[in-house]
């Protein structure tokens, strides 16, 4: 069974204080790893898709990387508007309905 574990569960940062979020996964083959941002009471907003180990993608202050066992989401010089829950999900070959298996998320609070 596919499993995704995110750490830490919560992260408090000062504005400008860079940090990294971890997503460890166990799947029988990886079709893709996805990062989403979710604001309170809203649906997840797509950030990145990573397909193979060694791949990196960037968007503004966010950079996602992928290895064979984990992914990192690096937040560089965060601003208060980066406060949100960041969700990681995997999609595996043959998964029922191309389902996404999510981790529990990391709640990030950036204080000014």
Partner 1 sequence: ETGVTQSPTHLIKTRGQQVTLRCSSQSGHNTVSWYQQALGQGPQFIFQYYREEENGRGNFPPRFSGLQFPNYSSELNVNALELDDSALYLCASSTGTPGAETQYFGPGTRLLVL
Interacting residue ranges for partner 1, rule: CB under 8 A: 4, 6, 31-32, 34, 36, 41-46, 49, 51, 87, 89, 91, 95-105
Do the Cβ atoms of 64 and 21 come closer than 8 Å?
Answer: no
Q: Which is nearer to partner 1, 69 or 77 (CB)?
A: 69
Q: Which is nearer to partner 1, 31 or 79 (CB)?
A: 31
Half-sphere exposure of 65 (CA within 13 A, CB side): 8
Q: 108, exposed or middle or buried, with CB in 10 Å at 0-12, 13-18, 19+?
A: buried
Q: Least Å distance between CB 55 and partner 1? A: 12
Q: Which is nearer to partner 1, 40 or 112 (CB)?
A: 40
Q: Least Å distance between CB 111 and partner 1? A: 21
Do the Cβ atoms of 61 and 71 come closer than 8 Å?
Answer: no
């Amino acid at each position: 069974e596919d499993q995704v574990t995110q750490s830490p569960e919560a992260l408090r940062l000062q504005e400008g204080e860079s940090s990294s979020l971890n997503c460890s996964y166990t799947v029988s083959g990886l079709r893709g790893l996805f990062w989403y941002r979710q604001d309170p009471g809203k649906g997840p907003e797509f950030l990145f898709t990573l397909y193979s180990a060694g791949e990196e993608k960037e968007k503004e202050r966010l950079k996602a990387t992928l290895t064979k066992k984990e992914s990192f989401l690096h937040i560089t010089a965060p601003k208060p508007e980066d406060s949100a829950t960041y969700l990681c999900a995997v999609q595996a070959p043959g998964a029922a309905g191309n389902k996404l298996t999510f981790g529990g998320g990391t709640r990030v609070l950036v204080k000014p």
